[in-house]
Amino acid sequence: MWTTYPRCGIKWGMTITNQEMQKLWDLVKFSLSKKFSPESYKAWIEHSTKLTDVAEGKVIVSVRNNLALQWLEKNAKEQLTIIFRDVLGEGNVSLEVNQDAFEAKLPIKDTIPKIGNLLSQVEEKEGKMKKALKDAGLNEKYTFETFVVGNNNQIAHAAAQAITQHIGQEYNPLFVYGSVGVGKTHLMHAIGHAVLDHDMSKKIFYCSSETFLNELVESIRSKKNAEFREKYRKLDILMIDDIQFISKWEAAQEEIFHTFNVLSGANKQIILASDRPPTQIQNLADRLRSRFEGGMMIDIIPPNYETRVAILANYNKEHSPPLSLECLETIAVLVEDNVRQLIGAYNKVYTYAKITNTPMDRETVEKIIGVDQEAARRKVSVEDILENVADAFGVTIGQMKSATRTAEVAMPRQIAMYLIRDILNYPLERVARSLKRNDHTTVIHAVEKVNKLMTNDHLLRTQIVGIKNSILK
């Protein structure tokens, strides 16, 4: 976001009024407020810092106390340097404890009237950026800076970054797939963000396939098809999330196909995200499938333990007081498949620690998260599991419970057994009965087989994790 600051005309050696300094600091704080959690911002920045001098190649930020100083040195110094380099051309930032700055009024300095105007230009630009993000459908929070690169998303991340450098060239379309909560949406927003940061005039639009559908339906209803087309076909980057749902609508497939052709013909960028690869999206027209597959397809898998700890540690930086490493590691052990749930679990533990003011050890964390997972489990029924599996594989529950042994039915049946065992922890006999089997060894066999498949077959693992997530949602 820092690149949105134009040089603001303040030069070293100039003196500026306290009022202008205050205004400049307010702007800088505004940017910092977006970078840190509201809690960190309130605790360490909002009323604990003040810009007290901008002179002789040096920026002096006064800090209320030592604790705040330490926090800022560790977490904000680098960003402050970048911001001031952007605003002033170079940034040599010093943080110092100076309580007086918060009590006594500082003497008024000479005025340079031009600076006021320039500062309001900076403000205006910030406002424009905010509007550009909003118009593009982008969430301010999802940026590359907050995205942790790990074993699971390295390639997707590299491709995403490459796109920001060469829009519409190498990876077009980019098709990102993976189960719920692995960071697909975050990554798409980050691309949009980075491109706008660099060039605010780029026309970017992010939407879910549902929004696309709704707009299409509305445009047909109100006879505004031409406007709809105009909007989507003049973009530099079109991003459609959860594209798997598009298969339900033939008209939408048709429209996307044409939009696709127009955009890629003009070397514009298309980015799609889905919970499964194109081959597994049912009822997807062949010509659309081959378009989806025609660029770069990359999957994001659930992060491994180290990456989960890294994600938590990154998130932890925004919280004060932070949770201990032991807590983070415990959460990372307990929540395996889904970053959204990982962050949800962190929030629960953090809130609990804050409210009860007790130190969190491994057992307490286990209790907080464990209790919660139990609650989620209790709400899930066997029927939920069967329905989700049947849906995912295009079979019926009746077929899964029948005697049929064809592979198309046997495989979903085994996966259903695996998931009933995994989610509900039912005894083997009860799992067998749920699928009208007499023999519990069938269940043992099924669980072993699915376990093995999940280790070897990456795609299947993604799919099963996806089904599990949608059951537990």
Q: Which residue is nearest to ligand ADP (CB)?
A: 183
Supply 384's token pair.
Answer: 């939920």
244 binds Mg ion (CB under 5 A): no
284 vs 245: CA distance, rounded Å: 10
432 vs 421: CA distance, rounded Å: 10
243 vs 252, beta carbon nearer ligand ADP = 243
Amino acid type, 161: Q
146 vs 253, beta carbon nearer ligand ADP = 146
277 binds ligand ADP (CB under 6 A): no
302 binds ligand ADP (CB under 6 A): no
Options 142-150, 256-264, 358-366, 372-380: segment touching ligand ADP (CB under 6 A) = 142-150
Q: What are residue 205's DSSP bridge partners? A: 238
185 binds Mg ion (CB under 5 A): yes
466 binds ligand ADP (CB under 6 A): no
Q: What are residue 176's DSSP bridge partners? A: 273, 298
Dihedral of the alpha carbons of 183, 184, 186, 188, in degrees to the nearest 10:
160
- 37, 62, 34: which is closest to 129 by C-alpha? 34
Among 239, 311, 312, 435, binds ligand ADP (CB under 6 A): 311
469 binds ligand ADP (CB under 6 A): no
What is the nearest approach in angstroms of Mg ion to the Cβ of residue 275?
A: 8
343 vs 281: CA distance, rounded Å: 29
62 binds Mg ion (CB under 5 A): no
Q: Which does residue 76 touch among Mg ion, ligand ADP, none (CB within 5 to 8 A, set by kind)?
A: none
What is the nearest approach in angstroms of ligand ADP to the Cβ of residue 179?
A: 7
- The counts of H helices and E strands in the chain are 22, 8
461 binds ligand ADP (CB under 6 A): no
What is the nearest approach in angstroms of ligand ADP to the Cβ of residue 461?
A: 15
Neighbours of 199 (CB within 10 A): 10
274 vs 307, beta carbon nearer Mg ion = 274
Dihedral of the alpha carbons of 152, 158, 159, 163, in degrees to the nearest 10:
140
What is the nearest approach in angstroms of ligand ADP to the Cβ of residue 458?
A: 16
- 202, 272, 260, 206: which is closest to 233 by C-alpha? 260
Distances in whole angstroms, Cα of residue 340 to Cα of each of 32, 346, 365? 24, 10, 18
What is the nearest approach in angstroms of ligand ADP to the Cβ of residue 243?
A: 12
Q: Which residue is nearest to Mg ion (CB)?
A: 185
Options 41-49, 160-168, 182-190, 459-467: segment touching Mg ion (CB under 5 A) = 182-190
What is the nearest approach in angstroms of ligand ADP to the Cβ of residue 282?
A: 20
What is the nearest approach in angstroms of Mg ion to the Cβ of residue 184?
A: 5
Q: Which does residue 311 touch among Mg ion, ligand ADP, none (CB within 5 to 8 A, set by kind)?
A: ligand ADP
270 vs 296: CA distance, rounded Å: 11
Asked if residues 200 and 132 have their Cβ atoms less than 8 Å apart, the reply is yes
What is the nearest approach in angstroms of ligand ADP to the Cβ of residue 433?
A: 34
Task: For Cα atoms 205, 210, 215, give the angle at the middle one, nearest 5 degrees.
Answer: 65
Asked if residues 296 and 159 have their Cβ atoms less than 8 Å apart, the reply is yes
153 binds ligand ADP (CB under 6 A): yes
160 vs 386, beta carbon nearer ligand ADP = 160
| Orientation of helix 77-88 relative to helix 18-35, angle to 10° | 130
Q: What are residue 50's DSSP bridge partners? A: 62
Q: Which residue has the tokens 């709704």?
A: 214
153 binds Mg ion (CB under 5 A): no
> According to CB under 6 A, which residues from 174 to 203 bind ligand ADP?
178, 180-186
141 vs 377, beta carbon nearer ligand ADP = 141
- 287, 344, 315, 327: which is closest to 469 by C-alpha? 344
What is the nearest approach in angstroms of Mg ion to the Cβ of residue 219?
A: 25
What is the nearest approach in angstroms of Mg ion to the Cβ of residue 445?
A: 35
Neighbours of 169 (CB within 10 A): 11
> According to CB under 6 A, which residues from 328 to 347 bind ligand ADP?
339-340, 343
Q: Can you give the binding site for ligand ADP, defined by CB under 6 A?
A: 142, 146-148, 153, 178, 180-186, 311, 339-340, 343
